[in-house]
Amino acid sequence: MESADVEIIADADPGRPYTSLGSIRVRIATGYVTNNSRNVESVNAKLRKVAFRKKANAVIGVQYERGRFLGTWKTLTVTGTAVVADTADRECPACGKPIKWDATVCRFCGHAVERVKPLPEPTDRSEGWQPDPSGRHPERYYDGLQWTVWVREEPGAPRAEDPPWI
């Protein structure tokens, strides 16, 4: 893996489980370049490098914003969330071959598999213990950005681990 392999995803949901490494922001001056697609390429390359240094393999929720710097230079800013996204495939529990995260049936052996999806975001996005949307535990810890693996049976009980997937 090198920085050029970092995926840039406009959607805030990569469609597979991921761990957030925090938001990143990169800005380039574009005053001297007129080719627009080249500007986006340049800012994306810089974004990939920053994400790669954080050991991310993807940036999600990517947004571009044009602006001006000191009144003269045109700038292009890109923001996003650096994440470690699970690889696009998972293993079929029956035959071990790679199948898609959202598959319900293995395309190799026909085995019915449970669908795995990230948990839906809570209405209240503040950090803290909240009702576990997976329904497997009474409470799950939300870190303000995403659901964590931490679950507990009641306030004060020791926390246990359970992946934040459906």
Interacting residue ranges for Zn ion, rule: CB under 5 A: 92, 94-95, 106, 108-109, 111
- Please, what is the minimum distance in Å from the beta carbon of residue 98 to Zn ion? 9
Q: Which is nearer to Zn ion, 68 or 97 (CB)?
A: 97
Exposed (0-12), middle (13-18) or buried (19+): which is 42, by Cβ within 10 Å?
A: middle
- Please, what is the minimum distance in Å from the beta carbon of residue 97 to Zn ion? 5
Distances (CA, A) of 75 to 9, 34, 66: 21, 12, 6
- Please, what is the minimum distance in Å from the beta carbon of residue 110 to Zn ion? 7
The Cα–Cα gap between 50 and 18 comes to: 18
- Please, what is the minimum distance in Å from the beta carbon of residue 163 to Zn ion? 21
Cβ distance 141 to 126 under 8 Å?
Answer: no
- Please, what is the minimum distance in Å from the beta carbon of residue 92 to Zn ion? 3
**Closest by CA position to 164, among listed 60, 26, 19:** 19
Q: How many CB atoms lie within 10 A of CB 158?
A: 6
Q: Which is nearer to Zn ion, 69 or 108 (CB)?
A: 108
Q: Which is nearer to Zn ion, 97 or 136 (CB)?
A: 97
* Size of the chain in residues: 166
Number of H helices, E strands in the chain: 1, 10
Q: Which is nearer to Zn ion, 47 or 99 (CB)?
A: 99
Q: Which is nearer to Zn ion, 46 or 111 (CB)?
A: 111
